[in-house]
């Protein structure tokens, strides 16, 4: 098969290959646990700068105690802080989720609105979180751009933009609307597992035959000697937690 020469051609091939690699729709591909758009919205805000595993460890107790936006809006902040402590930045996150719960109660009858124009008026909610809620929670077209989506769309030559809003506009113009949400989630999974920042595993990548950024394997003689064990620099970069879908 000829190697695609245009962003549109690469986008079409990437959509097909990623769908084979990561099957399922946006809701199935999302690694956050949730039972409703309200839970998904709160979980997505909590996922800033932490892992989905950490969020999934905190939310069952949080939603058991505060099952509705009304309950969360009326909570004692210190009690919420204790429940979300394990997700990091717990004071700021408590302010955000209590603020958005109050806004849902005051302005939307306690329901999460299924529109971008309404979602971005909620405290702590930007286009990225709103697009997660739309595509994963409501099954309507939305293309969240997080750090993985930003990096991979540039590496794959789908855009030269670095601003998330411009990336969203350029890349969605290349994709069928029905593929927006799932393609974003698949790019995030690919960025976590294969196209890892600083050390992409091109040899294991199903997009390598048309990716303009593919890296050739490093010959053994050219490899740099390994750092002595215990090097803080290497450990710091190797253990850096992945950035999650969120707006923080
Ligand atoms: S070929 Fe390499 S740089 Fe391109 S998407 Fe795959 S892992 Fe990333």
Q: List the CATH number of the domain containing 82.
A: 1.10.340.30
Q: Among 154, 205, 209, say which to mutate for ligand 1: greatest number of ligand atoms within 8 Å of CB.
A: 205
Instruction: Specify whether 84 is located in the same domain as 150.
Output: no
Separation of first and last alpha carbons in the chain: 42
Instruction: Specify whether 102 is located in the same domain as 155.
Output: no
Residue 187 and residue 193: Cα distance in Å, rounded?
10
Contacts of 101 (CB under 8 A, 6+ apart): 42, 66, 69, 70, 72, 73
Q: Which band of pLDDT confidence, cut at 50, 70 and 90, is reported for residue 233?
A: very low
Looking at the structure of the chain, the number of domains it has is: 2
Q: How far, in Å, from the CA of 237 to the mean position of ligand 1?
A: 19
Q: How far is CA 112 from CA 72, 147, 232, in A?
A: 14, 25, 44
Q: Among 11, 152, 193, 210, say which to mutate for ligand 1: greatest number of ligand atoms within 8 Å of CB.
A: 152
Q: How far, in Å, from the CA of 99 to the mean position of ligand 1?
A: 40
The verdict on residue 45 lying in a domain is yes
Q: How far, in Å, from the CA of 214 to the mean position of ligand 1?
A: 5
Per-residue pLDDT at 219: 59
Q: Give the nearest ligand 1 atom to 208 CA.
A: 1
Catalytic residue annotation: 128, 146
Instruction: Specify whether 43 is located in the same domain as 100.
Output: yes
CB atoms < 10 A from the CB of 184, how many?
Answer: 31
Q: Which band of pLDDT confidence, cut at 50, 70 and 90, is reported for residue 1?
A: low
Residue after which a domain boundary falls, among 193, 210, 231: 193
Q: Find out whether 51 and 245 touch, Cβ atoms under 8 Å.
A: no
The verdict on residue 116 lying in a domain is no
pLDDT for 225 beyond 80? no
Instruction: Specify whether 93 is located in the same domain as 148.
Output: no
Contacts of 89 (CB under 8 A, 6+ apart): 48, 49, 248
pLDDT for 240 beyond 90? no
Q: Which of 49-53, 175-179, 230-234, 241-245 has the lowest mean pLDDT?
A: 230-234
Per-residue pLDDT at 232: 29
pLDDT for 227 beyond 70? no
The verdict on residue 23 lying in a domain is yes
Instruction: Specify whether 24 is located in the same domain as 44.
Output: no
Q: Find out whether 24 and 183 touch, Cβ atoms under 8 Å.
A: no
Q: How far, in Å, from the CA of 207 to the mean position of ligand 1?
A: 6
| Chain segment 89-146, per-residue pLDDT in tens | 999 999 999 999 999 999 999 999 999 999 999 998 999 999 999 999 999 999 999 9
Residue 48 and residue 46: Cα distance in Å, rounded?
6
State whether the beta carbon of 154 lies less than 6 angstroms from ligand 1.
no
Per-residue pLDDT at 230: 31
Residue after which a domain boundary falls, among 59, 94, 111: 111
pLDDT for 76 beyond 90? yes
Q: Which of 187-191, 207-211, 229-233 has the lowest mean pLDDT?
A: 229-233
pLDDT for 239 beyond 80? no
State whether the beta carbon of 211 lies less than 6 angstroms from ligand 1.
yes
State whether the beta carbon of 27 lies less than 6 angstroms from ligand 1.
no
Q: Which of 45-54, 93-102, 186-195, 223-232 has the lowest mean pLDDT?
A: 223-232
The verdict on residue 54 lying in a domain is yes
The residue range of the domain holding 149 is 7-28+143-193
Tokens of 51: 């892992």
The verdict on residue 69 lying in a domain is yes
The verdict on residue 165 lying in a domain is yes
Q: What angle do the packed helices 147-155 and 164-172 form, to 10 degrees?
A: 60
Instruction: Specify whether 22 is located in the same domain as 43.
Output: no
pTM for this prediction = 0.85
Per-residue pLDDT at 69: 98
Q: Give the nearest ligand 1 atom to 214 CA.
A: 1
The verdict on residue 228 lying in a domain is no
Exposed / middle / buried, residue 160 (Cβ in 10 Å: 0-12, 13-18, 19+): exposed
Instruction: Specify whether 96 is located in the same domain as 43.
Output: yes
The verdict on residue 119 lying in a domain is no
């Amino acid at each position: 098969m000829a190697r695609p020469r245009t962003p549109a051609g690469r986008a079409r091939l990437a959509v097909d290959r990623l769908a084979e690699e990561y099957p399922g729709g946006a809701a199935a591909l999302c690694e956050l646990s949730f039972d409703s758009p309200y839970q998904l919205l709160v979980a997505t805000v909590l996922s800033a700068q932490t892992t989905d595993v950490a969020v999934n460890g905190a939310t069952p107790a949080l939603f058991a105690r505060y099952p509705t936006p009304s309950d969360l809006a009326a909570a004692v902040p210190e009690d919420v802080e204790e429940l979300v402590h394990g997700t990091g930045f717990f004071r700021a996150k408590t302010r955000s989720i209590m603020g958005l719960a109050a806004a849902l109660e005051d302005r939307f009858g306690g329901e999460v609105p299924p529109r971008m124009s309404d979602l971005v008026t909620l405290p702590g909610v930007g286009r990225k979180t709103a697009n997660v809620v739309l595509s994963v929670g409501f099954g309507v077209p939305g293309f969240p751009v997080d750090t993985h989506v930003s990096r991979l769309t540039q590496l794959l030559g789908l855009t030269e933009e670095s601003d998330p809003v411009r990336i969203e506009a350029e890349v969605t113009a290349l994709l069928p609307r029905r593929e927006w949400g799932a393609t974003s989630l698949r790019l995030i999974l690919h960025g976590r597992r294969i196209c890892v920042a600083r050390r992409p595993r091109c040899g294991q990548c199903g997009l390598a035959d048309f990716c303009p950024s593919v890296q050739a394997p490093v010959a053994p003689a050219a490899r740099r000697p390994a750092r002595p064990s215990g090097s803080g620099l290497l450990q710091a970069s190797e253990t850096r937690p992945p950035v999650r879908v969120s707006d923080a």
